[in-house]
Amino acid sequence: MVASIALLAATNLWYLRRIQGANVHTMAAQSVLDFGAELARHLAVQPAVAVPAGEAGGWGELSRLVRSLKRVDPTLQYVSVSEGGVILFHEDVSAAVTNGADAGGAGVRVGRTLLDTGHAVVPVMTFAASVLGGGGERHVEVALLKDAVTRREEQAARALAVMFRLSLATLTVAFGVAVVFVGWFMRYELERERRRRAQEHLAFAGALADGIIHDVRNPMSSLRLDLQMLQKEAGRGPESRLDRLGELADRARRTMDRVDIVMREFLYVSRPEPSALERVDLADCVKDCLDLLGPRFETAGVSLHLDMQGGGTVVTGFGVGIKRALINVLTNAKQVSKQGGVVTIRVRSTEQAGVIEIGDEGPGLPNSELTRIFEMFVSNRSGGTGLGLHLAKAAVENSGGSISAANRPEGGALFTIRLPKAPE
């Protein structure tokens, strides 16, 4: 964006310079015309011009004045004073041939002339003014090199070039400062995002670790008790009851199976997603999640009810991410459900999407929280981290789907996950 703005500014500056360059020639020509006319009028009112015919007084002063003017402006070629067709005074005069029509204006006639200097023929502009002299009307003619326009144009062009370079330097410095600022701001935002991600991961890891510890601690306590009882029964020697030993060993095995299920759940949640979208069967995805979470719901006294209306629905997305989202939403439903409650999972299909609806019988969601419930660290449950639903939303959207929350008419919350159908 900054580069586009700089390019637009540079283009405008270049276009402006072209326009001003075209105006410089017109302004230079007008400046030469004004200067030549003013010079002719000025010389026409000099006292020497009005000296009567036959008298030489004053022409030396006029000659010195003309030479001084030539030192000031080298484009001045000659000054001539004539009366009745007779030249009374001339300074630096060469044979001249008229080549152009006069154009009058403000008492001064402007014309074009070729001046033979003896070395070359050069084009000049003439400015003639009339004044009453001692013997009649006298004419004062001033000649300036035609390239006086070019010289003035070059001066104006140099000034314009300096202004352009200054503007370009200012623009370059401003663009450099803007680039440095944008670079610094982007780096700052990336670092802030990295810190936010790190805090999010740490918070999620902490919440996940708390859940794992909680889910593993109870089975391990049961396993310890079973092992103690197994050791005590085995210590009775010949009086040991084989059926009791088998029962305790079987209970220990089932406990280890529960721990294995918890570890598998952790792997589902922490496993990275593949790099490319894949075809995911919603029915198999939901069943895998229910198999993993079934023991936890059973321990909590919450029933799971599966309504499979969209069997065989295949969507595109990341299977690991979809399972992670389902586990988080189902875990949230278990946590808000009371003992004896029911969590309903309904899988259905539409023309363009596969839909999963998860409804619970908990207290529901405040209307003010329906749009904020998926924000990070927003939780309605005491002791909740506010990360589960946020991560579920991120996982679903990463698969190209959407997730929304609403309240069921009969009470409780309803979460709806929509995922795009895979092409046939």
Chain segment 4-36, per-residue pLDDT in tens: 776 777 777 777 767 766 666 677 677 777 777
User: In this predicted structure, what is the pLDDT of residue 98?
Assistant: 36
Q: pLDDT-derived band of residue 275, with 50, 70 and 90 as boundaries?
A: low
Weakest mean pLDDT among 256-265, 313-322, 328-337: 256-265
User: In this predicted structure, what is the pLDDT of residue 74?
Assistant: 65
Provide the whole-model pTM. 0.46
Q: Is pLDDT larger for residue 115 or for residue 372? A: 372
Q: Is the pLDDT of residue 97 over 50?
A: no
Asked if residues 237 and 277 have their Cβ atoms less than 8 Å apart, the reply is no
Q: What are the structural domain ranges in the chain?
A: 2-146, 272-420
User: In this predicted structure, what is the pLDDT of residue 348?
Assistant: 92
Distance CA 331, CA 342 (A): 13
User: In this predicted structure, what is the pLDDT of residue 103?
Assistant: 36
Assigned token pair, 395: 């996982």
User: If you average pLDDT over each of 62-66, 101-105, 340-344, which comes out highest?
Assistant: 340-344
Distance CA 24, CA 28 (A): 6
Give percent above pLDDT 70 in the chain: 71
- When the pLDDT of each residue in the chain is averaged and rounded to a whole number, the result is 77
Compute the chain's Rg from CA coordinates. Answer: 50
317 Rama class: left (phi>0) / alpha (psi -120 to 50) / beta: left
Q: Is the pLDDT of residue 56 over 80?
A: no
Q: Is pLDDT larger for residue 111 or for residue 185? A: 185
Q: Is the pLDDT of residue 333 over 70?
A: yes
User: In this predicted structure, what is the pLDDT of residue 104?
Assistant: 37
Q: Which CATH number fits domain 2-146: 3.30.450, 3.30.420, 3.40.50, 3.40.91?
A: 3.30.450
User: In this predicted structure, what is the pLDDT of residue 345?
Assistant: 95
Distance CA 17, CA 98 (A): 38
User: In this predicted structure, what is the pLDDT of residue 106?
Assistant: 41
Asked if residues 321 and 398 have their Cβ atoms less than 8 Å apart, the reply is yes
User: In this predicted structure, what is the pLDDT of residue 404?
Assistant: 93
Residue entry with tokens 């981290």: 385
Q: Which CATH number fits domain 272-420: 3.40.50.300, 3.30.565.10, 3.90.950.20, 3.30.70.100?
A: 3.30.565.10
Q: Per-residue pLDDT tens for 68-86?
A: 776 666 666 677 777 766 6
Q: Per-residue pLDDT tens for 201-227?
A: 676 666 666 666 756 776 777 788 888
